[in-house]
Every structure is written in C-alpha cells, then in structure tokens.
Structure 1
Amino acid sequence: MDTVLDTPLPLSVGQEGLWLLQRLAPDSATYNLAGGARMTPAPDPEILARAVRALTDRHAMLRSRYTETDGQPCRVVEAVGTLGELTAQEVPDATDEELDALVRAEVRRPFRLDTEGPFRAVLLRRRHDAVALVVTHHIATDAFSQWLLWRDLLQAYEAFATGHDDPGWEPLPVAYDDFVEREQMLLDSSRGKRQAEFWQEEAAGAQAAELPTDRPRPAVSSQTGASLLRRLPDRLSDKVLRTAAQRGVSPFALTLGAFQSLLHRWGGQRDFLLACPASTRRSSAAQVVGYFVNPVLIRGRFGRDTTLADAMTQAADRVRQATARVSYPYPLVARDAGTTGPLYRISVTMVATDRFGPGMGGAASGEPMTVAGIETTYLEIPHLEGQCDLSLEITRDVYGLTMALRYDTDLFERATVERLFDVFLRFVEAAADDPDQRVSRIPLTDDAERRALLALGGAGSGGTP
C-alpha cells in the first residue's frame, strides 16, 4: 500500500502506552526485541545492506519516527534509506564470548524513537562467519512480526545474492494504520462499551498475583532482568499434550492452570490476576509488521478443594472469555480500574512456531537453513527482561515445549527463580499425571529438600547430626 511521508499518523492505544513508558525512561531497553542469526560463511555486507533496505521499504513501521505533535504522540514515516540502514562491524578475531558480549551490548542499547526510529540491523563479521542481528522496539513490532522480519530479510538476501532484482513479494493488502482506525471505531461503538464493562467486572476485587521477593520493591524499578530457559523432557511434553487432549483443553490452558496453581501455593493468594499477551492481528494483516498485541487479564480463584483439573478448566474458560474481547486496549482497562497499583505483575504467553510458516518454524527450533549457500542458524537472544516481576514464555515447536522464565533482578535472586522453576515443572508434571489431585496437596519440596529440612530441624533441636 502507498505510504504517506512526513505526515503525523495516529498511534494505537497500546503504542501510546509504550511511547509514554519510553518518555519516562528514555535510557531503558526493557521493550527492545531482538533476534540474531549465525551465518557461515559470512554474508556479503553490500547484499545484506540491500536486503535490509528492501525490508524497510516493505515495512514502513521500521522507518518511522515516533514523536509528538500538538501534545499528541504520533508516527512519522521517513523515506527509504533515511532510517534503519545496516551497520556492519568487522571483528575478525573476536572469540565467541566477545561476540556474545557485542550482541548483548547492542540489544541493551536504548532507542531514540524520535530520531532514529525503532529498528536496527547490525552485522558483526568475523573471518569465517558472522552474526546478523535485528533489534526493534516493541512499539513497532511484536513476537510474530519478528519472524516476518527474518523471513523477509532472508528471502531478500537470497534473491539479491542469486541475481534477482527483487524478492518477489506480494503487495501487502492492508497497513497498520487500518488497525489503528478499526480500534478507534471499536472504542466509539456500543460493542466497545460492553467490552469495557466486562473488563471492569473481571478486575473488580482482585489483586495482581505477587510472590515474596528476595529484596524490597524499589520505589522506581530499574527495569533490568534476566532469563532462565529450559526444554521439557520429551516424555513430559508428550504427557502434557496427551492429558490436555483428554481433558478437552489446550496445552496452554493446562500449563497456565499449573502455573496459577503454583502462584497460589507459593504466594498464598486465593484470588488474583495475571496477564496473557494476546494477538489482535487479523488474517488480512498476517504479513504486516506492527504492534498487534494486547495484554488480557486472566483471573485465578482457588479454594481448599480446588484440583489441578479445576485450575486448567478455569484457565481455559478465562482465556476463551478474554480472547473474545482481546481488541479492547489494556491501557484503558488499567485507567478505568481506579486502583493504586498495577493490575498485573506476572505474565504468561505461549508461542506456537508452526504459525511462522514453512522453514521459519524449524529455524525457531534451532534447525540450520541454507540461504544463498550460507548456513544460517537462528540465535535465541534474551530480551524483554524486567517488564514484569515474572514472565513465563512457553514455546511449542516440532520437538515439544520450551519454557523461558524472565525475572526482575531488582526483586529476585537467580537461585530463587531456579527453585521456582523446579517447582513449576513439578506442578506441570502433576497436572499431566494426575490432574484430579488437589492443588493443596502438591509438595513444594522434593524428597531431597525435605530430608535436608528435617536434618536441619533435628540439628536445631539438639538431635544428633
């Protein structure tokens, strides 16, 4: 579609929220998204630069500045070649550790949205291989958009490297501005008012799920975090899929129910909220890069007799209800709730890599691809750390389930989160093995931990060590 240059364009409500957060913390990289690819041998920098320019030509969000006009945040699209050009850096003798440090430094570099826009492409080139890195700000992309970027970038490189004049892409049928317009129509409609009422009822009387922390919560968060990543054993992944099918729920609902059960047991809350970032992308925008995501609130209620089956059924129902109303922007829910604190501090999401299309689903699982004779392997790079107290990301690929647990390092020690992760996997296994057991009966310690605690108690009471 034709793109209007140098004209202020309105933002979605979600984008306005991210723009405000960036204005409040301009040196934060909390909302940076990143992905990389190791390429052997190293790609031709000129061809890759041409592919990057084709990418920004196709997706105007990547060459937009986010600024303010007459007191209103807006987006201004710049001409192709103005923003988002490839930066190539020669690091011929860098070790893997040094290369990793360069990647992390680039990911943690904040964006100046009003001048440089929301997109950076970097090539770190050694003698025999290279890492291509794409970093974006969340205001312009979501998780699915990241894979669209990589697919289009690699297609463009393949085309140009093999002598073609263009990548042969089909024109995009819609633009992100169509989504912004549709959102405003919803907010002005009776349907939007009904959705607003639903979300106020959903949030009424509940508190954000919260766990005991290792350190006091600071008055102002530094928005820094870290991640733990674990792939479930094949036997456990298989059991989760099988039990979910038998119980008539999705694997996500089973895992979400297990996680909520853990939060209830660990934190002691009986009625709480967490958030699930959900897609607002319509099929017509399947190829469009943009911020098509909205956190929806999921309420968990637990009693003394609640079973894991109850938890997963409850989770499935709440997800179903929330998905039907995903279009109503969360920032307005938070504004109208009238609470002093946030409505959620913990989030959960699931990504199914089969949505990424042929080739890219395998790439997300770490399978090498061949691009113009170059072996290309996608690199998982930690990002979006520090947004929440805890954020659980579940990835379902052809090999099974992988869990990433991101945490706020202002609040938690790594050892605490590692133990929490261990117990969570115990709850997942319990939900897959025997979902009819009560949540209150699932042990928070394993046999070894219980023996250690008993030994410690015996020593403290004068017993023989």
Structure 2
Amino acid sequence: MRAEEFATGDRSSGRIGRAVPLSTAQERMWFADAAAPGNATYNVPLFFRSREPVDAAVLAVALETVVARHAVLRTCYRLVDGQPVQVVADAVRPMVEEIDLGGLPDAAEQALAQARERGREPFDLSGGPVLRCTLWRGVPGGDAVLLVVHHIAVDGWSLAPLFEELAAAYLAARSGQAPRLPELPIQYGEFAVRERAESVGVELREQISQRAKQLAEVAGGLTLAGCRPNPAAPDGSRPGDQQVFTVPDEVVSAAAQLARSLRATPYIVFSAAVQALLHRWSGRGEFLLGSMTANRQQAELERLIGFFVNTVPVHCVVTSEQSFRELCVGSRTETFHALRHQRIPFDLLTAAVGEVRGGGRSALVEIGFVLQNMIAPTADDRLRWQPPLVLGTGTAKFDLLLIMEDGPDGLTLTVEHDTDRYPAEAVRELGEGFVSLLTAAVADPELPIGALPGGPDSFRIPQAPADRPAPVRPRAAAGPLDAQQLQAAELFTAALDAGAGSAAGQPSRLAAEANFFSLGGHSLLAVTMLAEAQRRHGIVVPPREFLADPTVAGLGRLLARGWSVTAAEDRPDAIPDGGPHPANAVQQRFWTIDRIPSLRSAYLIPTVVEYTGPVDPEALQRAVDTVLARHPALRSRFALDRRLRRVAYRTDGAPASASVIDASAWSAGELREHLAEVCWRGFDLAADAPARAELLTAGDRTLLVLVIHHIVSDGWSRQLLLAEVAEVYRAGTEGRDPVLTDPVHPATVTEVREDGPVAALAEAVTARLRGVPTDIELPRDRPRGELQGTEAVCRTVALGEELARRVRRVATEELGCSAFVTAAALLATTLGRRSGQRDFLFAFPWAGREDARSVEAVGMFVNTLVLRVDLSDGPTWRELLTRVREESVFAYRHAEVPFDMVVAALHPDRDLSRPPLTPVYLSSQEGPDSPPPLGPGITAGARALDPLHLKYELEFVVTESGEDLELALSYAVDLFDAATVTALLDDLVVDAGDLAADPDSHPMRRRPLWTTPK
C-alpha cells in the first residue's frame, strides 16, 4: 500500500478508515504484549497536579480533541491473515474517571498511590482504547490527573505535544472555542506504511547484513558485578525498580566544557563515562551498549504523537590503560558510525546477528543508555498545571537501563533494573560509582580508566568471556536438507521473516537441527506457520506434535507423515445451514450425559460479566443477538438418528436472543437466586437453541449473563464470543462496521487422525495406564451417595511472588517443566502423603483445535486426556517432574483418542455415584479470565458463579497471575467441608516450598500429613 492511499479523510481530524501494517517499532511492542498480556512494562503513566480545580467535562472534551487530531490514539491492533495490523476508529470519546478524596487526611498520598496502581493496569490492544484518564478531586493544593498511554502509541518525544496540546484544547474548550493548533502534515499510519515500504528495500537489507557481520564479532552476554543468574521470564517480562542519583552542577558544567574541547556533545562524555563504568563492573574490554534514539529524522514528525524510538547497538572498546579523553574520542567515532545505522529496526538487526553467529536469536544488548534531550512538556501560563511526572510501572525493559535527564533538580541518573538480575544494593553502588567516576574523569580527563574511582567494592566482577565469540557454526552442518526438510525450512523462513525479523535467512542455509524458538519464533508465530503449512500442502500439523520437536527436521517428519486424511482442496469452504451433521465423539458423550438430570447442570458453561459505566443496554442487546445469530454451532439442534445409532445435529434452527431486565430494585438475595436459575437451567437440545442470554441493569452496573451448553462450546469459544460482543458493541456505538472474521461451521473443521486407526492408539493408551487405580483416596468428610452431586465451591490461595519465582526457577528453568506438569506433581504428592496412595490418574483438557480453521470456530473441540503420576518408588522432586513431563508428552501424542474409549477399557464397571476413571480434574491457565471492555469509561470483570457446578469431585486449576501462581480447588459440597479443602491448599503451598528449596529431596519420605477419614 502506498502512503498516499492510507488517508481516506481529513488529516487534521484524523479520520482514517483503513487497516495498515504496524511500524517496526510498534510490532516490537505488539509482540511483547502478545507474549505477556496484561504486563505493565510498556505502560506510560503521566501524572500531573493542577493548582486549580479541573473541570472533568472540559477535560473529556480536550482529550477528545487530541485523540481526534492524532489517529494513533484511536487505533487498535488486530490479527488479519495471521499478521498484526492497525485499525483506526473514525472517532473515540475518551472518558474521565473521577475520584473524590475530599476529607481524607492523606489525600495527596492516596492520589499518587492510586495513580501508580492504575498506571500498571493492562491495556487491551485488540479492542482499545490505548489511552485512559483519571481525575482526583479533594487533593490539597489542587486536583491531580493521570493519563496512561500504551507505549505502542507514544514515546518520550510524544509527551510534550500530548501534554501541551491537551492544555491548549482544555483552555479552548473552557472558553467555548476551538483550539488553534497547526495542521499535522502526516499521520502515524502514513509513516508506518512508508517505513514498511522502505524496510523491504535492497539498500536497507544490505545495511542490515553488513552491520550484523560487524556486531556478530562482539561477544554477547554483558553481566556486571552483583548480577544474579536469573533469566527473564519465558514471556520476556521482568520485575523492575528504579533508583535515582543526582549529578552535581559543577560536574555537569565540567562535562560540557570537556565536550566543547573535543568538538562533541555532552552525550559523548556521558556515554564514555557509562562505558568506563561498565568496563570496571564487568571486566570486559569489548561489549555492546544499547543507545536509545528518537528516530524522528524528518521535520514532519517533530510534533507527531507516536512510537518512533529505536535501539542502536554501540560497539564499545575500553582498556584500563587509555585515558578518559582517549575513550571520549573513540566513543565519538563509534557513536557517529552507529548512528548512521539508526534507521535499521532493532529487531531485524538482532535477528540478523543471531543468524550470523549461528547460535539462534538471543538478546543483542542487555544494558541500555539514554540521554533524555527532548523538549520538556509545559502548559500554557494561563493554566496552573504543573509539569507532568512519568511514574514507574514496577517493570524493566533491560537488565539495566541508565537514563540521564535534566530536570527541575538538575541532571539525574535513573537506573532502571531487573530486580531478578540486579539487587538494589548492587544498583545503589553502581549509581554512586557512576557519579564518582564522572566527577573524577571530567576533573582530569588524562587519568587512565583504570585509575578512575567507581569500581565495585562490595561485589565480585564476573568472569569475563573472551571478547570475540566462538567461530560461527556452519548453517548446513547436518548436510543438505531433504525435500520435506526444505519445505519445513521454507515455512520457518516465511514465518520468521514476517514476525521475527528475518532470523532464518535462506531456507537452504538452515541446518536440520535449527530450532524454531531459538531462531526467534514464539507460540503465536508457530500457530501461524502451521496454519500456512495446511494452506500450502493440505497437511494438518498438530501443534502438540510440533512442540515436541520444534526443529526443521521435526517439522519435516510431520510433513512427510501426511497427518490430514482429507486433502485441502476436497474440503468444503462453507457448509450451508441444515444437515444433518454427525456429532463428534465428545458431543455424543455430552448428549448422553444430558439425559441424566442430576448431571445436566455440570455440562453448562455460564458466564456473568459485570460492566460498570455508561453501557447502552439496547446497543449491547443488539450486539449479543448479532453474535448469537452468527455462529452455526449456536443454532444447533441435536437428535438421535436411530437408524445410524448416533447423534446428529442441524444448524438451521432459530438463534437465541437476549432479553433486557431492570434489576435496580432487586435485593442481593433476589439477584443471586435469579442468576442461579438462569445459569444452571438445562436446555432441550432437540428443540431449543443451546444458548441463552440476559442483560440485567441496575444504575451504572450491567450484567451480561451468557449460558451455552458444553455440547456446542468450550472455553476457547467463550473467549471468542465475548470478544465479538465487545467488538460489535463498540462498532455500533462508534458508527462503524465491526471487524469480524467469517463464522466457521464446525463441520468444515478437519478431524486430525493418525495414519493408523484410532483403536490402535487407544490400545497404546490403555496399555500404558492399565493397572493404575481408577479411583483416588481423597480426604472426603462424607461418603459418596448413590448419585454424583455437582454443586461446588471454589477456594484459592496464592504462592506469593517470591515462592512462585523460586518454583519456576527449579521447575521451568532447571527442569523444563510447565506449570501444568508442576501442578500435577504437587497435587499427587500432597494427596499421596495424606492417604498413602502412590499411583494416580488425573483427567485434564486438550484444546483439540488442530485444524487452522478451528482457531476462529465456535464449537466443542476439547477432548479429555488422562495423566498418570507414579510415586511408587519414592522419586525425588527432580525425578518426579521429569516423569510427569514424559507422561504428559505421551498423553498429548495420543490426544485424539476419545475419552470414552479409554474409560470403556479401564473402568467398565463405572456407576453414577462418581466420575469415570478418576475423581480429580487438573488444568492450568495463563492469567485469569478477563472479559474485554466495551469502550472508554466502561470496566468489565468476570463475576464469580454462586453456586458453582462441576463435573468432578475435585478440580485443581493453577493460574499464572503475573509473577505469582494461584492455586484454586473447586470441590463437591456434598463430600468435603471448607476446612478440609483449605488445609489441602495449605499443604500444597508447603510442598511447593519443599520443591523450591531442594529439588533433589524425596517428598514421599516425609511424615504423612494425615490419614483419610474413615
């Protein structure tokens, strides 16, 4: 797309209505958010005080003016054909949240504390908005305001125009006038289109190749004294903190004088001091330092809000013998050389260096340095707004980031540090060392670097690696690729070029053992790549199989095996409404269970979303009705085909529709009773749509109650539906068409099958599990009845961030085990020590969405798998985790075996008093369920179900909640007391501590916790 094709409306108002690609800088932000949704690393909280009252309505108008002027502030980011794009709304009305702190003795402290908390709240980049505002009243000395913007829309240079234009718009709105702001010569989307066009040019690719060869010669892995060997989390998120150090005014003046004598800028002097400091703290004579550049090389970008910042690696060479003046001269030369390459996107350069080095994609720089020389934000003198403060978010972008900035208190050095890597005491000594080193260096520039103060006194310098990396491994070390491996290499290259910055290079140069994730891939790219494999070759490659061996050779083997029984060209692109369509194995089982009244409620999926704010009930009702009517699965009717002796369904039934109920006069008890009835009332699967919805309104609260039968939906489907409801609602209120993918008919989705019959796979599963007890001695407070009860309650406990980090360090980083594997080992150990049982079977879910089409399909695709955990020979924690990991891989490889086949073989004498095969269900999830918001000023949260119904006697869920791990046990109330389950959770936490403390200890040799009640 050409840049001039981007704009479809008036640039000054930002009326742009076309999806365009992300800039390379934005793409880096988008991938970071996709890897760690909800992480606050790239939030930009801007907090300022006003010495006069702020009018919330006028502030909202001013915000709307700025958002209308800068399209990037009303942009959201979505996947289209597997690629992220910018989607710009024609208009967005920002809401101002008002909080009254009047009368509180600590109002000022409360406002700042609440601002810090709100500054860390996540953004939904797919739905927006990317900007939010809070106003605190009743603060002594004037009101306080917080603007929080996602970094994908702003950088440091943007803060001045953002703050100043907001002030100008506020003044104008207060006087009833339009603000006088100069027309913007360009919108950010136009810049992104132009930059993308340039990024595929031959000249830039040659620059990347040449620069990568130069930088690949420098050894990576820069660590300083005091560094702890804790890598960043798998999703790249880092807990962070900041410390600030003041540089004396006389030192600043001397640095400026030295810079003038060298015909350089103060940046060169400060950068040389940083390099000398890092040399002293690392023992390295050669390393790479990341320098932040504004990357606004065109005058038209000067006052444009957007994210332009790039990281430029600077090659640093420091010796103890050279003088500080000589280091400044060398630093000036290398800095100018590096800045000639400042338009090379950092991600592309990182990938290219990894390709040259041959060791996969890894961090190119661990430590960054920036001198903030942008214009400080100021407000009109007629407004009594104080200069804004950028609040910390408790995260870090690098191992260490050194930020020098001239502010009201003079020149300061802020050291942002990854608290897992660098303890506060090391950072304190480092910052103080910088000030003392700079002071001595500018006082006597002829001093040798080795004679300067500022080295680590309390911490040991790390063993310095060789300053040159090992010889580059040949890319074709394993010999030429065969036909299937070449196909796999082409898929690797296409995916990595699109999403990870050309990390793979030419397909023929990839070695057979090249690992997709080492080359810079991630799970989202893997799914995209496997979908492309299906489109190109008509072969379904199950993610579970690829993840077991994510190499060129591994994917080649899967391509050669030909997993799809139906060629892509033979599959219908669409299926008209009607039928009948045969139910899958899981639907057959659910239809049978629905015939048993006592179990019916457990196979419903109720969701209650509570919206707070100015919801339009009629618009939300239309959105819900639109979504319920879109999906064939939600129009299904099920019946037994007696001739074929199997269940079939049709999709030409009438869809469900939502009703709106005024609940403002209801008591809490009446609301609870109503929700219980709506959420757990069964469906007539033959006559009714398998879904229903209600909207309950009460003041500024609106409850969306969405209930779907499990026979047509799973957890993945629920998230799709809630996202669509939010998108249709937002589109309706914004006067635009919703951005939705075409609905997928469940019958078009290919069922993945092995070459051999499923019966043979089932035999392998039953052979592996035969002889394991098909029940578990749980600490029940009451005996089972004749019929299984399903009413339940949930109890939760958090490990705490410190223990969670230690558990991850042992289980994930040392042993390569997921949270799910860790949870299974902990649960079996805790139950085993209570009862004496040593061999367990746990049920757990498998998403079952192997076909590329299933990713956007609403339907029931989940299969139940069975995991064995064997403690019989008293393994160590290390041995147990390894054993459970191997069992989970076996289960994944046989995931298409229907659960009923396994039950029939292992537990044929089952009855209705208990679940088949095992009474315990286990799962893990990344982050709690969070419904998407409906728009500015409207918050959304999932309301806990009361009562709860479940399929098993105990259901154990581990949730990775930020840095913490949350353990949840749902339990059948007719079998367990709350105190019993609370004690069970407490014991799980104790066992987690034992695992973290000593993975080579034998957990089953400890004293039993208690015996099962008789």
Report the TM-score range of the alignment, normalised by the length of the smaller protein: 0.7 to 0.9
Q: Which amino acid aligns with 1:343?
A: L
Structure 2 partner of 1:456: none
Instruction: Report the CA distance between 1:442 and its aligned residue.
Output: 1.8
Structure 1 partner of 2:55: 44
**Structure 1 residues 3-18: aligned runs within 5 Å:** 3=14, 5-18=16-29
Q: 2:240 aligns with which of 214, 217, 225?
A: 225
1:345 and 2:366 aligned? yes
Partner Cα separation in structure 2 for residue 269 and residue 127 of structure 1: 51
Q: Which amino acid aligns with 1:232?
A: V
| 385-394 vs 92-101, greater mean Cα deviation | 92-101
Partner Cα separation in structure 2 for residue 432 and residue 86 of structure 1: 49
| 219-228 vs 6-15, greater mean Cα deviation | 219-228
Instruction: Report the CA distance between 1:308 and its aligned residue.
Output: 1.4
1:408 and 2:418 aligned? yes
Q: 1:168 aligns with which of 180, 186, 192?
A: 180
Provide the TM-score with structure 1 as the length reference: 0.88
Q: Which amino acid aligns with 2:281?
A: W
- Contact preservation (8 Å) 2:48, 2:385: no
Instruction: Report the CA distance between 1:372 and its aligned residue.
Output: 4.3
Structure 2 partner of 1:321: 337
Change (3 A) 1:384 1:414: closer
Q: 1:244 aligns with which of 259, 264, 267?
A: 259
Instruction: Report the CA distance between 1:371 and its aligned residue.
Output: 5.3
- 1:430 aligns to what SS in structure 2? helix
Instruction: Report the CA distance between 1:377 and its aligned residue.
Output: 4.0
1:174-231: CA deviations, max 9, x gaps? 1112322332233233321332134213312212432134533146154221111233
1:427 and 2:437 aligned? yes
Partner Cα separation in structure 1 for residue 390 and residue 23 of structure 2: 29
Instruction: Report the CA distance between 1:251 and its aligned residue.
Output: 0.7
Instruction: Report the CA distance between 1:402 and its aligned residue.
Output: 2.0
Partner Cα separation in structure 2 for residue 16 and residue 300 of structure 1: 28
1:214-257: CA deviations, max 9, x gaps? 53314615422111123321111111111111122211111111
Q: Which amino acid aligns with 2:444?
A: D
Instruction: Report the CA distance between 1:116 and its aligned residue.
Output: 2.1
Q: Which amino acid aligns with 2:276?
A: S
- 2:416 aligns to what SS in structure 1? strand
- Contact preservation (8 Å) 2:71, 2:188: no
1:13-72: CA deviations, max 9, x gaps? 121121011001002100111221101222111111111111111111111111111101
1:300 and 2:316 aligned? yes
1:264-303: CA deviations, max 9, x gaps? 1111111111111112212111111111111000111123
Structure 2 partner of 1:103: 115
Partner Cα separation in structure 1 for residue 250 and residue 366 of structure 2: 32
- Contact preservation (8 Å) 1:386, 1:406: yes
1:126 and 2:126 aligned? no
Instruction: Report the CA distance between 1:106 and its aligned residue.
Output: 1.0
Which structure's CA Rg is the greater one?
2
Q: Which amino acid aligns with 1:130?
A: D
Instruction: Give 5+ residue unaligned stretches, structure 1.
Output: 364-368, 451-465
Partner Cα separation in structure 2 for residue 320 and residue 334 of structure 1: 20
1:312-333: CA deviations, max 9, x gaps? 2222222212222211111100
1:95-145: CA deviations, max 9, x gaps? 222222101101111211112232122212225522111111111111011
- 1:135 aligns to what SS in structure 2? strand
- Contact preservation (8 Å) 1:6, 1:77: yes
- Contact preservation (8 Å) 2:323, 2:445: yes
1:254 and 2:266 aligned? no
- Contact preservation (8 Å) 2:20, 2:193: no
| 148-157 vs 378-387, greater mean Cα deviation | 378-387
Structure 2 partner of 1:396: 406
1:153 and 2:153 aligned? no
- Contact preservation (8 Å) 1:222, 1:410: no
Q: Which amino acid aligns with 1:178?
A: E
Q: Which amino acid aligns with 2:153?
A: A
Partner Cα separation in structure 2 for residue 433 and residue 384 of structure 1: 36
Change (3 A) 1:413 1:384: closer
Structure 2 partner of 1:335: 351
- Contact preservation (8 Å) 1:120, 1:134: yes
Number of aligned residues:
435
- 2:128 aligns to what SS in structure 1? coil
Change (3 A) 1:107 1:375: closer
- 1:40 aligns to what SS in structure 2? coil
- Contact preservation (8 Å) 2:42, 2:150: yes
- 2:388 aligns to what SS in structure 1? strand
- Contact preservation (8 Å) 1:352, 1:397: no
Partner Cα separation in structure 2 for residue 297 and residue 210 of structure 1: 16
- 2:197 aligns to what SS in structure 1? helix
Q: Which amino acid aligns with 1:210?
A: T
Structure 2 partner of 1:209: 222
Instruction: Report the CA distance between 1:391 and its aligned residue.
Output: 0.5
Partner Cα separation in structure 2 for residue 313 and residue 61 of structure 1: 40
Structure 2 partner of 1:235: 250
| 165-174 vs 396-405, greater mean Cα deviation | 396-405
1:268 and 2:283 aligned? yes
1:291 and 2:307 aligned? yes
Partner Cα separation in structure 2 for residue 400 and residue 432 of structure 1: 17
Structure 1 partner of 2:208: 196
Change (3 A) 1:399 1:417: closer
| 304-313 vs 375-384, greater mean Cα deviation | 375-384
Instruction: Report the CA distance between 1:399 and its aligned residue.
Output: 7.1
Structure 2 partner of 1:135: 148
- Contact preservation (8 Å) 2:324, 2:441: yes
Q: 2:193 aligns with which of 154, 176, 181?
A: 181
Q: Structure 1 vs Structure 2: percent identity of aligned residues?
A: 26
